[in-house]
Structure 1
Amino acid sequence: MAARAWIGRHRRLALVLAVGLVALIAGAAAWHMSLRAITAQLEQGLILTSRALETEIERFRYLPRIAGEDARIRAALMRPDDPAAIRAANLYLETVTAQAGPSHLYLLNDRGVTLAASNWNRADSFVGFDYSFRPYFHDARAGGEGRFYAIGVTTGLPGYFLSARIDLPDGRRGMVVVKVDLGPLQRIWAEAERDTAVADADGVVFLASDAGWLYRPLSPLSPPALQRLADQQTYVGTDPGTTPPLLSRPGGWLRNDRQQRMTNVTAPFGDGWTIMVAAPIRPALAAALGWALIGALAAGLGLGLAKIQMQRRALIALRLGQSQMLERRVTERTEELAHEIEARRQTESELRATQETLIQAEKMAALGRMSAAIVHEISQPMAAMEATLATASLLAETDAPPAAQRIETARGLIRRMQRTTQRLKSFSRKEPAALNLIDARATAESALEIVQPRARAVGVTPQLIAPPGPVPVLAGRVRLEQVLVNLLLNALDAVGRDGWVRLELSARPGEVRLAVSDSGAGIAPADLPRVTEPFFTTKAGSEGMGLGLAISQEILAEFGGRLEIAAPPGQGVTATAILPQPQAHPPGNAP
């Protein structure tokens, strides 16, 4: 009896250890998977943050050099004692600041003293102040350009300073400095509830979504770094040397009293800057604990099932009559597994279908943009048909010959509405991803018919310029049609009643080009590189999702082609869909 009790205790201990080991493995696996997921999210956030920061700076990078070429600025630098020249420079800098949108714009002489400034007539004017202690002054004086982020010693407001040197023919030098307010980025990060920060080359945070992170070092500062910050008055009014470091230890862990967070730090950006995003690790902890509990339950269940199986084998020898029940349970379990396998297959199918959802959504959004014009296109023939049929009815009562003509007119209106609805039904359906040899000319004509209601509402008649006969391309007809509809709708949105829209089809050696041109206001050069980015739009109050050009570019890439957009100043926009020309095709193969 004692030996049996000893064996029973050790068996229970082994079972407990097995359950604990399974729970530990499940929790550790869930922990690492959750951390990888958080890291992936942080890397995406780093890309977005880096692009947003670079875009905001690039807006004003060339403003100092451009302003330095103005005759009023050069006159003020040549005649600093001339009140008229200084006043003209002040007014010019004030006007440029109001129109371009920087925080401040000012002119320094070769000694670093401010001669003119955009805030010349305000209490916090820079005029007369000596900023030769700033690094952007020395960098521009030595190399032509300078950059520096600091808190303004005059205004007390932080900003990013960009400077450019001016070299006059007589040997005199000066420089124009623009101060850029990056504070809106902090508000955007805070509203997005994403912990984001940017630190300088010394590791001091100067932009952050959390105000408690500002002007705190990532790690303890060295004495030379503290002295350099003091000499340059970088963060005047703050003391980064006495605030606790933001990182508790190397490896990306934040020091935070509320909760500990994992952070990811990029390579140096800009002037040795470091961009940092952080996310709470509480979900990872919750996932680890949850899966540890599930693992423990599964292990306990497995061990319990194993024990039951052992007991069942013993009972089978005594109760052969229970075999039918056991077989039924096995069958039920098999069916459950079959259902699970089918559910997984269904899920995979739905995931594949989701890839086409975004394209279909943009297509339906295009139909939504044309809905008012489509209703007008159909309602006008219906009203005319009603009047025609009423007239035909009256004429029929008098046995008048014009009744047949009226009825034929009504039939023509019905055929017109049928063509409109048939084109819209064909455009709105989903198309398989397979590529076929199609006629680009017929597809272009179909796209023009689809946008006809919108064109009539705008008061423009799009023109088609195409060679006679079919133009074969290897593509999907409905998807190529969607690309052309997107480009035509953008062109119609850009022109008024006095404008024009043209679709030109041409075949060149090795490629087929479908160019949509308009006489609209065009696209600003600063916006042109971004027009194919998802969700970017220059239309105020647009009903679209900002996805038309991005989706069109993706569809053309699937066909082996590309999208080119040109916007010469004052000449509207030309968007060209370029497809590779088939190497060889049987005559008459293109529909």
Structure 2
Amino acid sequence: MLFILLLIVVWFSSWQRQWQEQEQSAQQQLLVYRTALESEIARFENVPRALQEHPVLLGALTYANDPEAIKKANLLLEQLATATGIEALYMMNDQGVVLATSNWRQPHSFAGQNYLFRPYVYDAMEGSFGEYYGVGATTGIPGYFFGLPVGNARQPQGVLAAKITLLDLEQSWTLSKNLVMAVDSDQVVTLSSSPDLKFKTLAPLTDEALARIAQTRQYYPLPLTPLALSHQQQQQLVWQGIQYQVSEVYLPKNQWRLQLWSPSRPLIQHATLVTSLTAFSIIAMILLLLYWRQRRRYILAQLRAKEELEYKVSTRTSALALSNQQLEHQVTERFQVEAKLRAMQHELIHTNRLAALGQMAASVAHEVNQPLTALKNQSINTKLLLNQGQHTQVVASLEVMGTLVDRIARLTSQLKNFAATRRKTRGECRLDEALENVLSWLNPRLTEQNISLDRSQARDLLLPIELHALEQILANILENSADALTDQPQPMITLSAQPSGLAIYDNGPGIAPELLDKVTEPFFSTKQYGKGLGLGLAIVRDLIEASDGNLTLYSPPAGGTHFILSWKVDS
């Protein structure tokens, strides 16, 4: 534990030292970038100042309807823009309409455009020096704008404006291995060494900022999508799966923040390397110390072993004689235990045979009891029908009784082969036929309990099981569901089938979760004493498994019991 704590301290100390060094280096780089940015802006700031009182521009402003005066102003502005490298020089009247511009020959000329909505224009109209960064409303090219009042400072007649692009400055930032960017007061990245960051936001824009940007069309038509950033600490964030250390300096004149994002991975790698070397050195020293101690112990042990050898040789002989006597005694005891185990095994086999015989007798009694009860009910119905003179229904009732007798015969015929092996029930039968046979004697009970039977999803299907086995399965499950639906409001049983399975649902109270694994065991019943032997679901499980199928039971939290019968599909 102390070793791990020591390594943690080493790692954090190394990381902290590297972080401080990187932060110092980043601040130095940011000062260089800030100086370059301020110099680039200041380099062009005085150009419009020099033209503020130029007679050609004042003449064009005074005689705005004179084409010759406007042309002279255009030529002057074009010449100065070309000589100084300014993107555009243009003059507006007091309504913000451009009268003269250096790009008057170009397709995207500013001539005739109204820029009164721009902040630098109405700042200049208020008599102050206006500065502004945004996307050009005419060209769509971002740039930095200056605005100066022309004429009377208290009541200017117009505005002389200049636009410069900072593309060369941004291009120089791409040489850095880190990410360099300028962020305005609304968290919008205005300049960046990475195109993926430019005109994205570091945080979602407020409603006030959105309204202001829309009014001034500062970044129109850019969407200003927020970056997917994950902030871990105050000066750390994660972007595109990479962790960065953020350093920044403030530009009060522009209300911008100049940021430098340095990847944190080298810091982690260096701290991990230092920690690994420290751990290796400590482990190597510990191993050398352990080797020296082990070597010393080995020499001492050799000396002691030489002294003890003669004593061990003398005592070994007597120990071997005693061990031989104990071994003979253990062999005798083992033979006696094996004889007792064989006797217990014969007794256990005899007991299992008696148990199997008892289970078989109980199962036969349980299965034969159902058709016998049905025969009794059918015989009573037949007498009533005969007394009423309904001979057609008497014949149908007698046919049902014959079917029940055939079922008893099939059950008793299977007993002949029971002692030899378990009979397979894999075969093929129609679900409709088996269901009709069961309902022919079970319908009176369902009618008596007002139980609805939905079999709309279980028609015209063949299942991979013999007819008599499916009849026994349906009879046992339907009777169990009928027992569970006693005194249940709106009782209902639903059948749903497909070629590889059959599902039977009821809306009864369900089975407790702790009893789901026990209800298919022989002689286990949740009914009252005398209401059943607990063999119905055990027989259902045996018949399904004998047909290479599987039985699944579960009770949803809302109540009810689901019986799911599934078979393997033959290839």
TM-score, with structure 1 as normaliser: 0.48
What residue number does 2:277 align with? 294
After superposing the two structures, state which structure 1 stretch, 37-46 or 52-61, moved more: 37-46
What residue number does 1:307 align with? 290
Distance in structure 1 (CA, Å) of the matches to 2:32 and 2:71 = 42
AA of the residue aligned to 2:270: A
Query: Is contact 2:178–2:263 with CA below 8 Å preserved after alignment?
Result: no
Q: 1:218 to 1:268 in 2, by over 3 A?
A: farther
What residue number does 2:267 align with? 284
Q: Which structure has the greater CA radius of gyration?
A: 2
AA of the residue aligned to 2:227: P
Q: 1:69 aligns with which of 36, 48, 53?
A: 53
Any stretches of 5+ residues in structure 1 without a counterpart?
Answer: 1-16, 320-591
What residue number does 2:70 align with? 86
Q: 1:165 to 1:250 in 2, by over 3 A?
A: farther
Provide runs of 4+ in structure 1 moved above 6 Å: 312-319
> Residue deviations 1:418-451, cap 9 Å, x none?
xxxxxxxxxxxxxxxxxxxxxxxxxxxxxxxxxx
CA displacement at 1:316 relative to structure 2: 11
AA of the residue aligned to 1:33: R
CA displacement at 1:143 relative to structure 2: 3.7
Query: Is contact 1:216–1:245 with CA below 8 Å preserved after alignment?
Result: no
What residue number does 1:114 align with? 98
Q: Map residues 173-322 of structure 1 onto 2, 5 A cutoff.
A: 173-240=157-224, 242-244=225-227, 248=231, 251-308=234-291, 310=293
Q: 1:33 to 1:218 in 2, by over 3 A?
A: same
Query: Is contact 2:74–2:104 with CA below 8 Å preserved after alignment?
Result: yes
CA displacement at 1:254 relative to structure 2: 3.6
What residue number does 2:151 align with? 167
- What secondary structure is seen at the aligned counterpart in 1 of 2:174? helix
> Residue deviations 1:126-163, cap 9 Å, x none?
01111000000111111421000000010000000011
Query: Is contact 2:90–2:161 with CA below 8 Å preserved after alignment?
Result: yes
Query: Is contact 1:23–1:292 with CA below 8 Å preserved after alignment?
Result: yes
Distance in structure 2 (CA, Å) of the matches to 1:234 and 1:245 = 23
Q: Map residues 478-517 of structure 1 onto 2, 5 A cutoff.
A: none
Distance in structure 1 (CA, Å) of the matches to 2:109 and 2:300 = 100
- What secondary structure is seen at the aligned counterpart in 2 of 1:59? helix
Query: Is contact 2:125–2:155 with CA below 8 Å preserved after alignment?
Result: no
Distance in structure 1 (CA, Å) of the matches to 2:232 and 2:116 = 38
Q: Does 1:39 align with 2:26?
A: no
Q: Map residues 510-525 of structure 1 onto 2, 5 A cutoff.
A: none
Any stretches of 5+ residues in structure 2 without a counterpart?
Answer: 303-571
CA displacement at 1:108 relative to structure 2: 0.9
Q: 1:250 to 1:273 in 2, by over 3 A?
A: farther
> Residue deviations 1:427-485, cap 9 Å, x none?
xxxxxxxxxxxxxxxxxxxxxxxxxxxxxxxxxxxxxxxxxxxxxxxxxxxxxxxxxxx
Q: Of the two structures, which has the highest relative contact order with CA contacts closer than 8 Å and spacing of 6 or more?
A: 1
> Residue deviations 1:293-316, cap 9 Å, x none?
112212212323443565678799
Q: 1:166 to 1:304 in 2, by over 3 A?
A: same
Q: 1:99 to 1:243 in 2, by over 3 A?
A: same
CA displacement at 1:247 relative to structure 2: 6.3
AA of the residue aligned to 2:74: N
Q: 1:113 to 1:76 in 2, by over 3 A?
A: same
Distance in structure 2 (CA, Å) of the matches to 1:170 and 1:243 = 42
Q: Does 1:51 align with 2:29?
A: no
- What secondary structure is seen at the aligned counterpart in 1 of 2:239? coil
CA displacement at 1:172 relative to structure 2: 5.0
Query: Is contact 2:131–2:146 with CA below 8 Å preserved after alignment?
Result: yes
Distance in structure 2 (CA, Å) of the matches to 1:308 and 1:202 = 66
Aligned residues between the structures:
302
AA of the residue aligned to 1:158: P
- What secondary structure is seen at the aligned counterpart in 2 of 1:132? coil
Q: 1:247 to 1:56 in 2, by over 3 A?
A: farther
Q: Map residues 509-548 of structure 1 onto 2, 5 A cutoff.
A: none
